[in-house]
Chains A and B, each alone.
Chain A
């Protein structure tokens, strides 16, 4: 797990490239505190850099960027390949010899053997750049579930890539701001892929590789993997057996580490399952990390207690107080690579993990999206039906007082983006226009033009909700936040529910057995009913939430209306103080007006 960066610029000197890539890597040093390396191909002017957080093969042999034996291939890589041992064995059988015990070397040799087809054989979380001197090209590759980020930018003189958007400020080319980022942020609470806060800096889509031709500086993005949408499992019994089989396998595989490993354990269903499974395979060599609060409404320690009694894992509970929130708030904002209304919770729990000497932690992220844990799964049918009535009538929803009903306005959009924003959006276009002092139509056009994958056209009901949650909410917000917030402490978050085989399996289960009408995540519960205490699966969902509503109201730096010059913002912050606005909406105002 590391941070990577690189520049390709024919007209720059090698020294200049080395200097810029070093600066880019240094700006991400928090994510790779253990080692640093930069290489420049003097002839092709390809410079790759890496900041290393060593988890597999802690020795110097894992140093990056790494060359192939014949030095024709060089790689800068960020991530973990969970199946690297199996691939290695296969490659050894094919006659390859290995010098290190790192997964990086396996990627190189897999590429040497299978070429571009090797990417889909990698099971893990990864983002990498591979320079193939023989084919005179560079590849940027991102994992199938889009867990690890990878951003790129191309202008006339140079091609740049990095694990964080912030690093582009050190690339030697002054980046221009994306004038639309505030619109995106106020509508979504994050910046949707492929966009970023910088103009011409884009996110590489998950399951894709970008092939850059060094001969003419052209590039093309190729999808190398897509999750299956074909329904194959229609029997509940079979689904349960397969779910247990694949998830157990994924957890076992993801426990691979040469450094200490833990699990983020909230006490909710998903993290309880992961904790129980990880404990089975870790054989006592596991630490569970939890955040606790003085705020009674938010304390889940009673639920955690039930699980803790059943496992061997050492349990570490950290009290996070309002004082901690106030004292760390500026640092959290600084560590936020891209604007988001989430991730602060991850920042704190990963800080706790770090304080316990952990470098890797497993998380229950992904289960809600796959198995229908969110309210959107209940609302989607209503939303679909409302979407069928007159668009003009729907538009009048913006005059409604209730902020949730207000969002119905988004159903007047032609693009499915409108449905997502109706389910999960922050502000409606008219409010955004007032906040940014721009024309409403500009806001509407900007939001309607966000590109979406075609798959959504063919999905309905819960599957449609699941697609939105996986490809928009989780992809653009949860995974992105989790990556930069955890890496700011040098902690890697692993997500067994997003294991490529597990996701493939779940997407092949018929929705009628996958999603429960009366119970959320019914199928997952059915699968682990024997292992889980009843109190855990019968409890009401709380989510991974902190007492932010109370804390942010209390913190005058955020909640004082006097701090906001914009009339609409002032009014909204006043409603926030009267608890008529959710903290995430208020935080978005703070970020736009005070911390951007």
Chain B
């Protein structure tokens, strides 16, 4: 008999953030396991609209979007949840539903995915109580796991670490030359050194660290006069204006391009266009963007004070820096600019990243979690 699995989410397809990317990988894992007749998956999304579904990730019959009808979502989740073997909550905000499911159906295993800042802060008492009732908390990184332990006092055996994975449909390059159409689009020369960051460029997410990179750019330009920094990601007007002022202040307008939203189809090529992916962020739960950049053979600089440490495998795959130390960031950038990776090194990096964070490995962990109640089990 396949395991009945209910995956409860806020959004899966209606938004493109880290949490949603994790949800999509889980959806596809559930679909694949469904095809193997190991699970019988159902995915509920509270805020998605019915047409948001990306049909690469799961079947129409496996997905129900509630279009912001929260009450209806709660009732349906409860009814479905108590008849399920496993319920996975994609976000702490769904905790109360998980708690109720557990109350009405104690044999149903309820797992919560813990990503980053949403669970790093203190929780009110009822939520803490509910958290304790869950069967397991699946943290996306060691950093998140540690925060949960220290802030919420959750016991070690209740937490499992399951690092995120590269999207199952990520395009892995086999050639690493800079794509001509993008060089033309941004009026860049193949010999120019290019730095890149990719995140939402919004006032609420300043912790991504692009301010620091901007501030050290004038120094680097002295050494590398043709250096260009591409800030990619959807921006809001307020933040865009602030950045433009900052760029004017540093007099580096010729060296920075706010390239905005990048279509999914062009992400890999933007990584190929760049020489270093630099995002010394402070509040990453994990940082899928780092592993995807490295999967394109790109050198990465990330912060050493959050979940990025897991994404860079403690520095084995890329450079970890103190995100508050501009001179360290500058020094590291200088080092990487001086000694760029050759194609063989890029292929080696790609292989290492794939070995650590492949979708197939992730799906196997999800399978173990559902079937055996833990992803840590080693099967012979």
Contacts and interface: CB of A to CB of B under 8 A. Distances in A.
Interface residues of A, number: 18
A114 to B, nearest CB: 55
Interface string B261-277: 10111100000000000
A321 B169 contact: yes
B133 to A, nearest CB: 35
Given A294-B56, A296-B31, A297-B59, A556 B51 contact: no
A295 B263 contact: no
A295 B51 contact: no
Contact of B60 (A297, A322, A547, A554): A297
Interface in A527-557: 547, 550, 554-556
Interface string B36-78: 0000000000000101001111111000000000000000000
Nearest to A293: B56
Nearest to A324: B265
Nearest to A325: B265
Contacts of B60: 297
A297 B231 CA distance: 36
A322 B49 CA distance: 21
A295 B58 CA distance: 9
A1 B31 CA distance: 45
B171 interface: yes
Contact of A554 (B49, B58, B169, B264): B264
Given A321-B169, A323-B171, A297 B55 contact: yes
A30 B55 CA distance: 35
Contact of A550 (B54, B169, B171, B261): B54
Contact of B265 (A295, A327, A579): A327
Contacts of A295: 54-56
Contacts, number: 39
Nearest to A553: B51
B169 A555 contact: no
B112 to A, nearest CB: 27
B54 A556 contact: no
Sort chain B's interface into a size bin.
10 to 19
Interface string A562-596: 00000000000000001100000000000000000
A327 B264 CA distance: 12
Contact of A579 (B51, B56, B57): B51
B169 A578 contact: no
Q: Which DSSP category, helix, strand, loop or mixed, fits chain A's interface?
A: helix
B56 A556 contact: no
A547 B56 CA distance: 10
B122 to A, nearest CB: 39
A296 B265 contact: no
A578 B265 CA distance: 21
A550 B55 contact: yes
Contacts of B56: 294-296
A578 B52 CA distance: 9
Interface string A340-382: 0000000000000000000000000000000000000000000
Contacts of B266: 326
Contacts of A326: 263, 265-266
A298 interface: yes
Interface string A289-309: 000001111100000000000
A519 B295 CA distance: 50
Contacts of B171: 321, 323
B265 A322 contact: yes
B261 A556 contact: yes
B265 A323 contact: yes
B183 to A, nearest CB: 15
Given A321-B169, A323-B171, A296 B55 contact: yes
A326 B268 CA distance: 13
A296 B56 CA distance: 5
A329 B49 CA distance: 28
B261 A322 contact: no
A298 B264 contact: no
Contacts of B57: 296
A325 B54 CA distance: 16
A554 B263 contact: yes
B129 to A, nearest CB: 40
Given A296-B59, A554-B264, A556-B261, 19 more contacts: A294-B169, A296-B31, A297-B55, A297-B59, A298-B55, A321-B169, A323-B171, A323-B264, A325-B265, A326-B263, A326-B265, A327-B265, A547-B55, A550-B54, A554-B263, A555-B265, A556-B263, A578-B51, A579-B51
Interface of B: 31, 49, 51, 54-60, 169, 171, 261, 263-266
Interface of A: 294-298, 321-323, 325-327, 547, 550, 554-556, 578-579
26 contacts: A294-B56, A294-B169, A295-B54, A295-B55, A295-B56, A296-B55, A296-B57, A296-B58, A297-B55, A298-B55, A321-B171, A322-B265, A323-B264, A323-B265, A325-B265, A326-B263, A326-B265, A326-B266, A547-B55, A550-B55, A554-B264, A555-B263, A555-B265, A556-B261, A578-B51, A579-B51
* In the A-B complex, the 4 residue pairs with the closest CB atoms: A579-B51, A326-B265, A323-B265, A295-B55
